[in-house]
Amino acid sequence: MAKLTGIVYVNLNGSRLRSKPGASLKVGGAIRKAETDVNGFAGHSTEEIKPAEVKCTLLHADDTDLVALQQIEGATLVFETDSGQRYLVRDAGTEGEVEMKGKEVDITFTGAPAERV
């Protein structure tokens, strides 16, 4: 029987972030579109290459530096599942604005398309 994923972890430059449950990963890469001709389905074309995207909510602590989080670039990000899968995002950086709401910090990272490692 398959081992199902329950928890995911976000690791940045070798350190595990204090992310709350619910982190998400879009692996990026080639985004394809179905093409048709007069005979019907003809195949797929690549419309664009998208970056990987990881969204998570961090718990804020006395050692959380919001400015440093906002300035992340060129990082190595690993999105890890408790079922044993790991996805590597190279050259990761902060996308958009880091937002602190109460005791939580919403952050989005983007980078090269994810690779399963």
In the Cβ-directed half-sphere of 50, how many Cα atoms lie within 13 Å? 12
CB 6 within 8 A of CB 82: yes
Tens-digit pLDDT profile for residues 8-27: 999 999 999 999 999 999 99
In the chain, where are the structural domains located? 8-116
Q: Average pLDDT, stretch 96-106?
A: 97
Round to whole Å and give the CA distance between 99 and 26: 20
**Which CATH number is associated with domain 8-116?**
2.40.30
pTM: 0.92
